[in-house]
Amino acid sequence: MRNYIPTINISSLLKNNFNSISSKKTIKKIEVACIDVGFFQITGHGINKKNIYDISKVGNNFFNSSVKNKMKLAPIKWNQLNKNVYRGYFPNDVNGKEGLDIGDPKVTKKDALKLKNQYIEYLQLNKAINKKSINVLNNYFTQLFVLGEVLFKGIIKLYKKDISDSKLAFSRLKTLSTLRFNCYPNQKSPVEISKQDGVALGCETHVDSGIFTILYQDKKGGLQVQNRKTKKWHNVPHNKNALIVNTGLALQFLSKGKFKATNHRVLWNKTKRMSIPFFFEPSYDFKMSHSFLNKSLRNKSNNIFFYKFLNQSLKKFVEYQR
């Protein structure tokens, strides 16, 4: 069970030298993990335990605050005084968990008005979160964004392309990357009973939309990943030194199915738990194409702007039906 999810030390990649022998070995391990499992844990990622503690504290403080305070950041569907639709807080009666979705904290009100994309929203965090906590959010978002770029550059290197091409797909302000806090309350009943094996779930079986998801889950665990061949489910163990990475639909599209998005779910847990996923997603105006990674594939009919790709993907999630 524990060995099904590989653990990879990526410290060699943080030096930004993707041509070293150690880097090439690390990238190969990532390739194998993405193809065989779709999930892996990373150590040597450069984010220390204090960063994890601080960001967890921000999430816990927010969810432990009053309903009135949390609703200050809710989208217009739940708080008609607000204009945000995509970003913000959603209550736990939506889909068994409450959450807080934060886009790039660098986006100002002026940026959002200028860019004019439905997913680029200015969220006035200081209505519900103190300045110190906002600084923690800013720093963590930046760290995870850089980490996502490092992993994506590794994928680019597999295709023998220039790692600077990463900038064509990802840029701050335009990125649709999301830092999310998921709080699973003391659920009285499961969100779903798996049709496959009858297991009670606290989060439905799904795949993610972006390139990579980089996740911290607390000690309670509960995350499971499905073996694509056997269809059996495996626990993703808690490792205090590791972050969990999984592939998403955008990477599946860019790689033309080489790196598939993988089914995962969360077991019904009767005690409160929190997870902090970072959905590493391209710029809204990035033109998704099979030829981005593989120049030999020139089928222009497959091109689609990422924000449209994301829109199609989000339709399956109840919390985004706004």
The residue to which tokens 């689609």 are assigned: 304
Q: Given a cut of 70, is residue 292 above it in pLDDT?
A: yes
The predicted model scores a pTM of: 0.92
Give strand pairing partners of 316. none
Predicted local confidence at residue 1, as pLDDT: 42
Mean pLDDT of the chain: 89
Q: Note the residue count of the chain.
A: 322
**Quick check: helix, strand or coil at residue 277?**
strand
Q: H helices within the chain, ranges in order?
A: 21-36, 49-63, 67-71, 109-115, 131-158, 166-169, 249-254, 306-314
State pLDDT tens for residues 226-275. 998 999 999 888 888 899 999 999 999 999 999 999 998 877 776 778 89
Q: Given a cut of 70, is residue 321 above it in pLDDT?
A: no
Distance CA 244, CA 248 (A): 13
Q: Where are the chain's structural domains?
A: 2-320
State pLDDT tens for residues 22-70. 999 999 999 999 999 999 999 999 999 999 999 999 999 999 999 999 9
CB 265 within 8 A of CB 205: yes
Q: Phi/psi at 278 (nearest 5 deg)?
A: -115, 115
Distance CA 206, CA 190 (A): 16
**Quick check: helix, strand or coil at residue 231?**
coil
State pLDDT tens for residues 139-167. 999 999 999 999 999 999 999 989 999 99
Please tell me the CATH code under which domain 2-320 is placed. Answer: 2.60.120.330
User: Taking the alpha carbons of 38, 40, 46, 50 in that order, is the dihedral positive or negative?
Assistant: positive
Q: Given a cut of 80, is residue 296 above it in pLDDT?
A: no
Distance CA 253, CA 290 (A): 7
